[in-house]
Chain A
Amino acid sequence: MIEIDGEQARVEPTQPGGGKADRPWWPPLGEGLRPRQPVVVIAGGFGSGKSELALNLCMGLQAGGERVRLVDLDIVKPFFRSRQARGFLAAAGIGLVAPEGELFHSDLPIVLPEIRSLLRQPDGVVVIDVGGDTAGSRVLSSLGDAFVSGGYELLVVLNTSRPFTRDVRGLVEMVRGIAAAGGLVPTGLVANTHLLGETRLELVLEGLGAVRETGALLGIPVRMLACSEKLARRLQPQAVGCPVLELRRVLREERLGGEWPLADEED
């Protein structure tokens, strides 16, 4: 037998140039991307990219000098949650609100009591990452009374590469389902179509088109387009028509082979 040691979930912060850093460097959020309210709820289907978006927003806000807290309210699955970036967040000085001890790894319906007080008195910006689909958003309804009317943004993240949100019909159903389950009105849509490392620019734009159509049908603005830095550099701002959030991968699963799941993107 061989003696071994190691951490279960490892997140490697990176900085420009690919070096590892104790305190990850992040660009501040551009004006159009900054939250309009002190509470930002990130909802969406499984695999839409909610957690990456939440982590990137937090990092960008922190870089801009905001006091930020991230609430991980994913109570529907025990894998690939924003809380896995706890070391990364701690290094960046961002507070994480998630169950501790062995309950950290559970998928039990735990809503920590401090979340209510944070919603009522945010003291900075509070980013809430909820679980996927309508099942994941249901937890919001239990906190309904704590949300200050008009004091939050509810962003629904949409990825048209997922099986049930491939078309406008599916996207509309997803947004409506999340609104109904959570009991909150979505204030914006986030176009985040991706196939992990196999994402191409055409796919991103095709997804944006479908999300725009969805927003027009539902009367909800497209709040932002999210895509990797590399692809964002190739976008023509006038063709996009909304702010672009350049995503940098945080929840990288390097255990599963090479750079999985973020392989080299198309140049």
Chain B
Amino acid sequence: MGCIMIFSGSEAAAKPRKLLMKGAEAIGEAAIRAGAKAYFCYPITPQTEVAEYLARRMPEVGGVFLQGESELAVANMLFGAAATGARVFTSTSSPGFSLMAEAMSYIAGAELPVVFINVMRCGPGLGGVLAAQSDYWQATRNSGHGDYRCPVLAPSSVQEAAELTLAAFELADRYRNPVIVLADGMIGQMMEPVMLEGLAAGEPVEKPWATQGCGGREPVVVKSLYLDPQVLERMNRRLAEKYAKMQTDEVQVELYNVRERHDLVVVAYGTMARICKTAIDRLGKEGLQVGLVRPITLFPFPVDAVHSAARHSAAGVVTVELSQGQMIDDVNLALGELGRSAFFGRSGGMVPTPDEVTRVFRDLVKRGAA
């Protein structure tokens, strides 16, 4: 095995074709295709494969791969690198995401475009390494201090993880705001065929605020410190307008089997939504009409889609999560005068089977009919 080998180079790699990829790898590759120039990370299960993948790929495309000494260091590196106007990102999992929260607030305050990938594991605390969706509140309200919010994109397949990673970079640049891709451990770890050809960065956004050297113009300062209360309030109002615009313009939702009338309406995201789809298909064969509203953006939340689907549902709405009930708050806000959602969830790394979910839905329909 010690001989020298010469390869011709014209290998199958050149042909556009599907690859079998882990969610974590697809996220890494999508970021490269989005034009990410720097990736800072600190390893944590179940997403270390993003780092592993990029440790090989970033040098190949002339990008920066840097493993920091901690998540705190990583998040502050992101601040500095994003201030130059380059597309930068990190990936982590729940406990690591908490450690990045302080810097994330600074990044939001300085209005810097940074993509944070959080491949959730189960908590609280060190918890476990299996899949969960228990960081919904943290991601959709705000992980750090202060009046800020971030768009949160939730993939439910490996292909979508790649596409939403790309979309996250576009959104971050467009709004000058951090964007979170919130995947669960299943999405990070499972493999599926993925087509990456065609995934490419959009038109570059002008970044006159970036610290790239003055070159004759006035210096720019990237900061989140405003000691004058009037100035700071003005900035907070401007940020609030930005978040309001996201709520108007950036909602993404998938409707599955949503019709005029339903026996039951389900709201679920990520992996959990896929399990629900299987249950919905099975119940369809029994003659039950169950519709699914799958938020793709968790913030902005698809309020209208949930409200509209719920209007004609005999047994109302059930929110299904891999947590003890977090998204249900947003579902109830969306339902308003229509009442409150039922809830079904597993946590701690327990992922329900389609059988289990089918049984739950069937019971709810029966109760609704009664």
**Residues of chain A at interface, number, CB under 8 A:** 51
Q: Which residues from B are CB-within-8-Å of A5?
A: 356
Contacts A4-B360, A105-B129, A196-B193 hold; do A210 and B19 have CB atoms under 8 A apart?
no
- B360 near A79 with CB under 8 A, answer no
Which residues in window 250-264 of A have CB below 8 A to B?
253-258, 260-261
Residue in A closest to B325 when the chains form the complex, CB atoms: A1
- B191 near A261 with CB under 8 A, answer yes
Bound together, the chains give a CA A125 to CA B49 distance in angstroms of 33
- A4 near B12 with CB under 8 A, answer no
1/0 per residue, CB under 8 A from B, across A62-105: the answer is 00000000000000011110000000000000000000000001
- B185 near A161 with CB under 8 A, answer no
- B275 near A257 with CB under 8 A, answer yes
A237 shortest CB reach to chain B, Å: 24
Residue in B closest to A209 when the chains form the complex, CB atoms: B12
Q: Is B346 an interface position by the 8 A CB rule?
A: yes
Interface size of B as a range: 35 or more
B44 shortest CB reach to chain A, Å: 11
1/0 per residue, CB under 8 A from A, across B1-44: the answer is 10101010001110000111110010001000000000000000
Bound together, the chains give a CA A220 to CA B24 distance in angstroms of 32
- B192 near A261 with CB under 8 A, answer yes
A-B contact count (CB 8 A): 137
- A6 near B56 with CB under 8 A, answer no
Q: Is A109 an interface position by the 8 A CB rule?
A: no
Q: Is A219 an interface position by the 8 A CB rule?
A: yes
Q: Is B164 an interface position by the 8 A CB rule?
A: no
Q: Is B368 an interface position by the 8 A CB rule?
A: no
Dominant SS among interface residues on chain A: loop
- B189 near A169 with CB under 8 A, answer no
Q: Which residues from B are CB-within-8-Å of A258?
A: 277-278, 281
- A8 near B350 with CB under 8 A, answer yes
Q: Is A107 an interface position by the 8 A CB rule?
A: yes
Residue in A closest to B281 when the chains form the complex, CB atoms: A258
Q: Is A60 an interface position by the 8 A CB rule?
A: no
Q: Is B242 an interface position by the 8 A CB rule?
A: no
1/0 per residue, CB under 8 A from B, across A162-191: the answer is 111011111010011001000000000000
Q: Which residues from A are CB-within-8-Å of B68?
A: none
Q: Which residues from B are CB-within-8-Å of A160?
A: 12
Q: Is B63 an interface position by the 8 A CB rule?
A: no
Q: Which residues from A are CB-within-8-Å of B364?
A: 2
Q: Is B124 an interface position by the 8 A CB rule?
A: no
Contacts A47-B20, A162-B20 hold; do A257 and B274 have CB atoms under 8 A apart?
yes
A165 shortest CB reach to chain B, Å: 10
1/0 per residue, CB under 8 A from B, across A107-126: the answer is 10000000000000000000
Query: What would 5 more interface pairs be, CB under 8 Å, given A77-B45, A163-B19, A169-B11?
Result: A2-B343, A159-B20, A172-B5, A255-B352, A257-B277
- Residues of A participating in the B interface, judged by any CB pair closer than 8 Å: 1-2, 4-8, 10, 46-47, 77-80, 105-107, 135, 159-164, 166-170, 172, 175-176, 179, 194-198, 206, 210, 217-219, 253-258, 260-261
Can you offer 13 A-B residue contacts whose CB atoms are under 8 A?
Answer: A2-B363, A6-B346, A6-B352, A10-B353, A78-B46, A80-B191, A163-B21, A164-B56, A168-B7, A195-B20, A254-B278, A258-B277, A260-B192
Q: Top 4 closest A-B pairs, CB basis?
A: A167-B11, A79-B189, A257-B274, A161-B20
